[in-house]
Structure 1
């Protein structure tokens, strides 16, 4: 006797364009194709998204309100230059312009834009000015720490004379007159308080009215410093490595519960990098755990800080947790090394808290790099959430982003190691509520430059109102990715069933291909509104099948699946 299970999908709003991304603008195929580059970083300003776009960091600034008419370029510089770390400050968007030219008078600048047009752009220290910013875009563009706002001022490292003061801590109110040296930390002429040989140590983070940063005063080596923005209030936090001239080289700043968590090396012993926490005072700076480094991802859940790190003694990576005390700091689970996972800079795991669970990208030999989930305990409740393509090919989930009650992320669709497309996925935390939002037309192999899939996976998902904005290629060998949006109001999927749902169908609505996911599929039929079969096909006991629905007219249809046990599963979908 056959058992029938009907699954009803209830959408939050009308189903007309649900779950399918829409192109906002193809700036590469516009009168000025230089603006057609992938998003790197962005800020929301006056209900618009202002982004730095381009390879590595960005060499153009683009603004969008989510419409074609409201999307255009506002800043364009030389292809070799880098624009990064946009910060909303005093009614404008400020960013660092790293120039890569030997032309006299050109130097890294503090620039700004009104996010509207070219006339609203400018530089605090234009060409020919004595002030030049310290910048290392490749090393620091993604961490957002090179330009930091605190107490109504921007903080960065700069110099007005390399031979006298070198690069030191500066502050600015956004004007040249209001841009001043905070303190000459390294008084030795020509010596820098930051920079070589530790270009990566230019990070800064503000906790309230205290700025944490790394500097070398010429005596203690690179150590943690704090500042309240004044000369007198800028001082060495504590000398964690007391060896003369040797610093602890603090890195990986994380603000947690009004304190700063970071990595530092307290001795010169090999593999002695530890996890520290500080409240901004020497006595309040304590070691949380020894032998941890490469702290990369972090998420706060239930007032606990979870982070990804590597044990220097075992060389094993894992997820750790801390409550801000040594006793409350420990490993949750050790994970396998990424293996052949594509290392899309900057994060290897994208640890994200959603619905009281942790989601992240991790590797296993059997499944490849896929989406995992954890309840944050050591009780073995860390497991694979979903193998997105059902094979051992790496889908490598990246850019995990929570928006409007769902978790969104990017994942690669690969065939024999080649990337077929980069798709947007979302989940409500259940397998049946995990769906793929296929970019229309993205069904050809990306056989252009080898960096195409990396460009897309490294480009973020950014929420603008009720839309998710992102860059994505959609045709073979396309060199400039269009800007897309996903309407978040049409993706709230709820399941109503008296039994456990084991059938997933996506995208829904659909216009081209529909993917069916259910255990042991043997037969698939599609019925129209009057019950007539418009598609009928037998499969070979698979868990994933695709239905070409391009020829169907727009309307409501039922997909009927018969599995290997003779059980029928029926689900409704909309053909656009």
Structure 2
């Protein structure tokens, strides 16, 4: 599996050169996937789970020395950590908390100080059984998580980082497991979804001050479930999706007192929003509007916006004008939205929207019609990390930097500058290498049609110049890519022809 970190340069509407994506390290040689997950910031370190093909899914860290295996928590078995998407770790004090399995205690809550071996923080289900800790969040010196003690089923728990003790907080379904998920801090309470054999799966809150649990609302009245998902806190409100028989799955908000349905794009019982895996990030804010992945009654997963000022919902853009856009994640940073979407040609790839211009695909990470499916976004300082798939490296770790976040190369043994960009004529690509390399250059339009290709060429140490003939190319956006002999993506970015 290849662990690749790709720094994708974006067009900022200026003619300056771009910092380019680069492979940082091949963690697992070959085409298998390291499938990085649980991305989390620990100071200036990026901590995550990954598989190097030898040790299974274990604790990894990326810092100034590169990406390296931090600890093999379960050396006697395949893996200590999972590959579940849309999960993170929780930082409190000098420790970071996460679920792991050491091969003896099952999957339980662990903590790590960034230097010494990770320690078992709490064994909820004693012995070799797993308590199944999955979601972990930090709030006021405590770690909230879901776990099963073997007696009460899966419930909400808390770990006190001062006393180093774990306590079960809820028993929502006293007849069995409550299946707690989507644990989120809003205002001063802990919100989550849970199952009760009277009201089904609905939204609950836990008050740490009064040690009390409350049903927020039985949105789908009776035993049927509304199954709230995608909980996201924006501008003093809790936004989420939920299902009712009458309206399907729609966008809702909660202001601490009242739950309100906000959308019904497809009027009636058909859903305006598809259900997703637990915790998927498909709701985000940009400016004064709330953006989400919605359905138009025929096709799924287009970019929609809800305006809290007037209550209106509007279609922003169909990345695929004749089919499903299938937006699978939306991530807001500064004044932009990044999201994975399809256009009917390139598969599910990384797109960007700044709130005014037409959304555009940043790069075709998995060349052709197959999908890179970017997800698990995390911003650290001036870098956005995420996981995605390409043909040569499998599912790996990528990074993104554009001029609004600061341009910076990470670990590519050289630099690539593309100029002028935008251009009215030909384009220069300067490839400056620290060591000789065999590379190929390709430029394709947004439909995937190749307009220029320079097959494998030997480039010497130092500056190499490639002239890309664009004078007769139609105006529009193009994707350029630089690959090595094995077909691994070294650089990709956008080129604009005026």
Cα distance change, pair 421–87 in 1 and its aligned pair in 2 (3 A): closer
Deviation at 1:396, TM superposition (A): 3.2
Name the structure 2 match of 1:109: 58
1:170 paired to 2:110? yes
Q: Quick one: distance in 2 between partners of 1:462 and 1:166?
A: 28
Q: Say which of 262, 283, 306 aligns to 1:351.
A: 283
| 1:250-329 alignment runs, 5 A limit | 250-266=180-196, 268-269=197-198, 272-280=200-208, 283-290=211-218, 291=220, 293-311=226-244, 313-314=245-246, 316-325=248-257, 328-329=258-259
- SS of 1:186's partner is coil
Name the structure 1 match of 2:417: none
Q: Quick one: distance in 1 between partners of 2:264 and 2:277?
A: 21
Q: Quick one: distance in 2 between partners of 1:135 and 1:411?
A: 28
Deviation at 1:236, TM superposition (A): 1.3
Cα distance change, pair 402–509 in 1 and its aligned pair in 2 (3 A): farther
- SS of 1:73's partner is coil
1:551 paired to 2:472? yes
Q: Quick one: distance in 1 between partners of 2:98 and 2:381?
A: 31
Cα distance change, pair 481–247 in 1 and its aligned pair in 2 (3 A): closer
Q: Whose Rg is larger?
A: 1
Cα distance change, pair 169–332 in 1 and its aligned pair in 2 (3 A): same
Matched residues, number = 406
Cα distance change, pair 372–219 in 1 and its aligned pair in 2 (3 A): same
1:427 paired to 2:340? no
Cα distance change, pair 100–316 in 1 and its aligned pair in 2 (3 A): farther
Q: Is the 8 A contact 1:112 1:123 kept in 2?
A: no
Q: Is the 8 A contact 2:59 2:81 kept in 1?
A: no
Q: Quick one: distance in 1 between partners of 2:58 and 2:92?
A: 19
Deviation at 1:392, TM superposition (A): 3.2
Q: Is the 8 A contact 2:3 2:33 kept in 1?
A: no
- SS of 1:297's partner is strand
Name the structure 2 match of 1:155: 97
Deviation at 1:307, TM superposition (A): 1.2
Deviation at 1:304, TM superposition (A): 1.1
Q: Is the 8 A contact 1:208 1:258 kept in 2?
A: no
Q: Quick one: distance in 1 between partners of 2:348 and 2:393?
A: 14
The answer for unaligned runs of 5 or more in structure 1 is: 1-32, 43-65, 196-200, 491-506, 516-548, 555-573
Deviation at 1:37, TM superposition (A): 8.0
Per-residue CA distance 1:261-282 (angstroms, 9 max, x = gap): 100113x24x611101123356
Per-residue CA distance 1:293-340 (angstroms, 9 max, x = gap): 4433244333111112223x5581011111223xx1222223549989
Name the structure 1 match of 2:82: 136
TM-score for both structures, normalised by structure 1: 0.57
| 1:328-407 alignment runs, 5 A limit | 328-336=258-266, 350-366=282-298, 368-376=300-308, 381-388=312-319, 391-407=321-337
Name the structure 2 match of 1:34: 2
Name the structure 1 match of 2:437: none
The answer for unaligned runs of 5 or more in structure 2 is: 9-17, 406-420, 426-442, 447-469, 476-495
Q: Quick one: distance in 2 between partners of 1:444 and 1:211?
A: 38
Cα distance change, pair 470–304 in 1 and its aligned pair in 2 (3 A): closer
- SS of 1:171's partner is strand
| 1:185-264 alignment runs, 5 A limit | 185-187=124-126, 189-192=127-130, 194-195=131-132, 202-229=134-161, 233-243=165-175, 246-264=176-194
Per-residue CA distance 1:147-172 (angstroms, 9 max, x = gap): 3222211223345563xx54433333
Q: Quick one: distance in 1 between partners of 2:393 and 2:161?
A: 45
TM-score for both structures, normalised by structure 2: 0.65
Q: Quick one: distance in 2 between partners of 1:411 and 1:232?
A: 43
Name the structure 2 match of 1:75: 27
Q: Quick one: distance in 1 between partners of 2:86 and 2:272?
A: 23
Name the structure 1 match of 2:462: none
